[in-house]
Amino acid sequence: MPWNSNGPGQGPGQGPGPWGVPPSGGGPRRPNGGGPPPRGPWPPGMPPVPDLDAAIAAAQAWVRRLLPGGGMGGRGPLIGVIVLLAIWLGTGFYRVQPDEQGVVLRFGAFTRTTPPGLNYHLPWPVESVMVPAVTRINRIDIGYRSAPMDMRQANGSDIPVQQVQQESMMLTGDENIIDINFAVFWHISNAGEFLFSTRNPAQTVKSAAESVMREVIGSTPIQPALAEARARIEAAVLSGTQAILTQYKPAWK
């Protein structure tokens, strides 16, 4: 009978049946005297899978050692300070575009200018930087106010939209009154001097040009001023205006 395979005089688990000696002829048995213990799901010879919980616990212990009060003999706070210092020093890098000039301020006072490209200054609050455009051509209208740039480009000409007589009416050398409208084109040659030499640089350019124009017209008769002397007047106003601005340091051209 299949469920009673023990022969005469054989105790339980001693016969050749399914619950006796295993087919291989020996080996470990189950605690209740049965066959060999069950195998794991991996083939023989494969290394055991690492314990994930143990790996996570080891990583957490390593992080705790880096923090203040960890087990690194006080090196945790030092590492934190070094990391924060490196981040603070990295904030001092800045880029100046090709049409700009860097102006470095140390505690709010002008110290130096920097060229286009990648530059460095001591991080805030020690130093800060300003980057004004220096190659852009600026324009100031005297005696009139012109149309916006988009309208001038669309029409292809300079269209006065408002007359300013207190600026345009001037007295000539022969005591005639002439109405003059002109524009001043200028750009920044030194950004640091431009920003810190005067309170209102654009107004300074306007006042200087208007003053020189009145002086030149005041020494020129009306007929030449309206005809052949216009080029001479323009050159005289240009040189005179630049001379005044140079007194504020060579920041404009």
The CATH number given to whatever domain includes residue 220 is 3.30.479.30
User: Does residue 124 share a domain with residue 180?
Assistant: no
In the chain (253 residues long), the average pLDDT of successive 10-residue segments reads: 45 46 49 52 55 75 62 65 88 92 91 92 92 89 79 57 88 92 90 83 92 95 91 94 81 51
Q: Is the pTM of this model over 0.85?
A: no
Query: How many domains would you assign to the chain?
Result: 2
Query: Which domain-ending residue is among 79, 106, 130?
Result: 130
What pLDDT shows up at residue 161?
73
What pLDDT shows up at residue 3?
44
What pLDDT shows up at residue 198?
79
Residue 78 lies in a domain: yes
Element housing 242 (H / E): helix 230-246
The DSSP annotation for 36-94 comes to: PPPP-SSPTTPPPPP-HHHHHHHHHHHHHHHSTTSSSTTHHHHHHHHHHHHHHHHTTEE
User: Does residue 202 share a domain with residue 147?
Assistant: yes
Q: Domain range holding 86?
A: 68-130
Question: Looking up tokens 């395979």, which residue turns up?
Answer: 5
What pLDDT shows up at residue 54?
81
User: Does residue 108 share a domain with residue 86?
Assistant: yes
Query: Which domain-ending residue is among 112, 130, 148?
Result: 130
User: Does residue 231 share a domain with residue 173?
Assistant: yes
What pLDDT shows up at residue 105?
93
Strand order in the sheet with 102-106: 109-114, 102-106, 127-130
Q: Please confirm whether the linkage preceding 125 is cis (ω < 30° from 0).
A: yes
What pLDDT shows up at residue 217?
95
